[in-house]
Structure 1
Amino acid sequence: MLAACASRPTGVLTPVGKTVPEASTVDLLVATTRAPSGDPATLFTGERDNLVSMADIVVSIPPEKNRKVGEVQWPRKLPPNPMTDFTTVSVTPIKTNLQEAAWIRRHLPKNGRVMVFVHGFNNTFEDSVYRFAQIVHDSGAKVAPVIFTWPSRASIFDYNYDKESTNYSRDALEQVLRTLAKEPGVKDITVMAHSMGSWLTVEALRQMAIRDGRVNPKITNVILASPDLDVDVFAKQFLAMGKDHPRFTLFVSRDDRALSLSRRISGNIDRLGQIDPTVEPYRSALEKAGITVIDLTRLKAGDRLNHSKFAESPEVVQLIGTRLVNGQTITDSNIGVGDRLGAVALGAAQGVGSAASLVVTAPIAVFDPTTRKNYDAQIDRFGRAVGNTMGAVAP
């Protein structure tokens, strides 16, 4: 239960220089506040550096026939086999602002979208790079992928060090976001954070809003997956962003064991990633704030700690790439059983209709405060209409 964001084999970042034709590649812009290791197999340590280092890292993904969506396939031995393993193809240091701008322009898709990923607790540098490469590939997101990786010692006994490392990295993440937003071709930025990285992300956005009066308008979407955030603190951070804040989407799961441990460490205060969005006081607060919550509690996917469902469920990671990054509002009706989002057999509910089937059987629930009231009323009316033959359908 103490494993949190899982540890992985080390020393896989030595570039192999090429891959196989059947494999896919993901080209990442990496920014980090970690100290360099001096070893090409690891590149960076879990210690802190005064500077922000940047690199262009190309990761090879094994052919679809040899892998399962949602998994990072770590090599069992080195050098890795690109047919079966994630492989580092190349690592190119980026030393100047001009080189950074050139990378952005070269990799920016026509839609002008950038996606920035901030990893969570207990991650090595290579953990974070390979996980984001997997998310970008499996989600199919049409974005320029940027990862911000902060100094984590990747040890379950260094929770407090990791937490302070997020505080240490706030200014650096804010500056990376500002640099991306200044690029003329960038039209839209989505920031996705996992676990403790959510604290870093929200803090960086909060201080940006305090400095400028608002979060940069190009930062339109913020996705917090299993956020390791004190709910009371998040409420204050959110208010500090003002009325012109980005659209927030939360992935939560009440069976997240890693967050259960964090809750105990942090004074037994609810963690944002474990809330039940359908009960008070959360329901009203989320509705007022306009925050969408996707509850993955009943979804059976991910690691043993239920802490990485957002990345390891094929349906959820594809939802990120096809809808959330594109700025689409997620509602109960467009995330339902028809999308196979962890759907189970419809059973007796099959004849009732897709909306009612979602309520009865879907092992994933969406709380979208902008549409929930209308949806509840619709279900109430539908339930009364079929009540004589099918029985009441509760919202």
Structure 2
Amino acid sequence: MIALQACSSGPTAFMAPTANAPEGASRVDMLVVTTRKPSDDPNVLFTGERGFDYLINEVAVSLPPASARTPGQVQWPKTSTPDPATEFAVLSVQRRTLDEIDLWIEKQAGADGRLMIFVHGFNTRFGVAVFRYAQIIKDSGAPVAPVLFTWPSRGGIYAYNYDRESTNFSRDALEAGLLRAAHNDSVKEITVLAHSMGAWLAMEALRQSAIREGRVPAKVTNVILASPDLDIDVFVRQFQVLGPERPKFTIFVSNDDRALRLSRLIAGNVGRLGAINPSQEPYLSLLENSGITVIDMSKLRTGDRLNHSKFAESPDVVKLIGQRLIEGQPLTDSRAGIGDHVSALAIGATKFVGSAAGVIISTPIAVVDPATRENLNSQIEGMTGAVGAPSAATQR
């Protein structure tokens, strides 16, 4: 519990708009949809309590110039009045109506028509979610119109069950938002990026949509679950209900995730999806048969003491997400294994371990998906003449 406190460390009341951004600063404009209860304090804007209408705001966030920030990190304000020269700051907050959503999407999605909806995790206050998503958008370089769906989290380590029930409270609103976006003619592709407990909310909204509409909206092409705090058995059921015309799934896992270890204890010692070892059975066969790509970050080291936010705090990982979206390809595009892009990022030396069953990459970021293994098997056969007998050069 003490370790988990790190998720909520830092200031949380800084949403009042500040002065104009300095020269060289970056700006991220996002649409924020929330089921939280509004606050009278403009620095808080929305509390961790539940509101019975979902409300929409357009929020502009300023990120300090490149000389004052490190990719993968949020330069958190030290006071309730941030300094835009060195810290993240809010430039404007404007309430929007449902009709204005469509106009915003048309303007922000551009010719490519790409939308990314981010669903945050447990123990996250409103302002923290806004700044974290602004950092992800900036560091990934993803060419998307960013939409944040933020649900009622009290931002406290002892509110796990409250937060969990708040995701159930919010799933109808997220489903409605997904359907509205999918019906917008300007939108061509939707990526859902969900972190931690937010993965449960995202899967439930997609599941409901599949049941109600007969399938997940066709425009939802990618679902990315980062460190998902999801019961493995429940995820399998949710995934099955999505049907054969489901989106392409990518899951970021790390078996040293301390937050998910605690979640497992709370859940009665039931394994969490975000902490599996994808190279071991039964997960390897399950994932292969489902066509799911898993990116194993267990050996990756970031500044996150809980190892629970590696996907956002590693510049290489967020760039990987952005690069694939820039190229107009899903993260699991069968035309090219995602491992090619991992290698191109020069994350670390790669050791190929061949077997008749396939190939597993042993790196700080490992990728397990059928397309990658097929691609790497071909590479190994070319270097060794036989899968399963890597040369000394390959082993190095």
One of 343, 346, 365 as aligned partner of 2:348: 343
Residue 277 of structure 2: aligned partner? 276
C-alpha distance in 1 between matches for 2:60 and 2:338: 37
Could you say if the C-alpha distance between residues 333 and 148 of structure 1 is closer, same or farther in structure 2, counting changes exceeding 3 Å? Answer: closer
1:49 aligns with 2:51: yes
Q: Is the 8 A contact 1:72 1:86 kept in 2?
A: yes
Residue 290 of structure 1: aligned partner? 291
C-alpha distance in 2 between matches for 1:226 and 1:386: 32
1:331 aligns with 2:351: no
Residue 117 of structure 2: aligned partner? 116
Q: Count the aligned residue pairs.
A: 383
C-alpha distance in 2 between matches for 1:137 and 1:49: 30
Residue 217 of structure 1: aligned partner? 218
One of 70, 77, 93 as aligned partner of 2:95: 93
Q: Is the 8 A contact 2:279 2:360 kept in 1?
A: no
What's the CA shift for 1:374?
A: 5.4
Could you say if the C-alpha distance between residues 247 and 67 of structure 1 is closer, same or farther in structure 2, counting changes exceeding 3 Å? Answer: same
SS at match of 1:46: strand
Residue 70 of structure 2: aligned partner? 68
Alignment map for 1:195-274 (pairs within 5 Å): 195-274=196-275
Could you say if the C-alpha distance between residues 4 and 83 of structure 1 is closer, same or farther in structure 2, counting changes exceeding 3 Å? Answer: closer
What's the CA shift for 1:21?
A: 2.0
SS at match of 1:322: helix
Alignment map for 1:151-190 (pairs within 5 Å): 151-190=152-191
SS at match of 2:221: strand
SS at match of 1:8: coil
Residue 26 of structure 2: aligned partner? 24
Could you say if the C-alpha distance between residues 302 and 248 of structure 1 is closer, same or farther in structure 2, counting changes exceeding 3 Å? Answer: farther
SS at match of 2:175: helix
C-alpha distance in 2 between matches for 1:200 and 1:38: 27
User: Which runs of no fewer than 5 residues in structure 1 stay unpaired?
Assistant: 351-357
C-alpha distance in 1 between matches for 2:29 and 2:268: 41
Alignment map for 1:292-307 (pairs within 5 Å): 292-307=293-308
Give 4+ residue runs of structure 1 displaced > 6 Å after superposition: 358-361, 385-389
Q: Is the 8 A contact 1:60 1:86 kept in 2?
A: yes
User: Which runs of no fewer than 5 residues in structure 2 stay unpaired?
Assistant: 353-358
C-alpha distance in 1 between matches for 2:375 and 2:325: 21
Could you say if the C-alpha distance between residues 244 and 4 of structure 1 is closer, same or farther in structure 2, counting changes exceeding 3 Å? Answer: farther
SS at match of 2:383: helix
Could you say if the C-alpha distance between residues 26 and 332 of structure 1 is closer, same or farther in structure 2, counting changes exceeding 3 Å? Answer: closer
One-letter amino acid of the counterpart of residue 164, structure 1: E
SS at match of 2:370: coil
Greater alpha carbon shift after TM alignment, 216-225 vs 13-22: 13-22
C-alpha distance in 2 between matches for 1:72 and 1:15: 18
Residue 3 of structure 1: aligned partner? 5
Greater alpha carbon shift after TM alignment, 77-86 vs 192-201: 77-86
C-alpha distance in 2 between matches for 1:101 and 1:253: 37
Greater alpha carbon shift after TM alignment, 324-333 vs 33-42: 324-333
One-letter amino acid of the counterpart of residue 113, structure 1: R
What's the CA shift for 1:248?
A: 0.3
State TM-score, norm by structure 1.
Answer: 0.91
C-alpha distance in 1 between matches for 2:164 and 2:267: 11
State TM-score, norm by structure 2.
Answer: 0.91
C-alpha distance after superposition, 1:89-137 (max 9, x if no partner): 000011x222111111121121100000000000000010000000001
The CA RMSD measured in Å over matched residues stands at: 2.4
One-letter amino acid of the counterpart of residue 13, structure 1: M
One-letter amino acid of the counterpart of residue 89, structure 2: T
C-alpha distance after superposition, 1:176-199 (max 9, x if no partner): 111111110100000000000000
C-alpha distance in 2 between matches for 1:306 and 1:323: 24
One-letter amino acid of the counterpart of residue 22, structure 2: V
Q: Is the 8 A contact 1:151 1:165 kept in 2?
A: yes
SS at match of 2:340: coil
Q: Is the 8 A contact 1:7 1:127 kept in 2?
A: no
Q: Is the 8 A contact 1:302 1:308 kept in 2?
A: no
SS at match of 2:22: coil
Greater alpha carbon shift after TM alignment, 96-105 vs 227-236: 96-105
Residue 356 of structure 2: aligned partner? none
Q: Is the 8 A contact 2:28 2:137 kept in 1?
A: yes
Residue 355 of structure 2: aligned partner? none
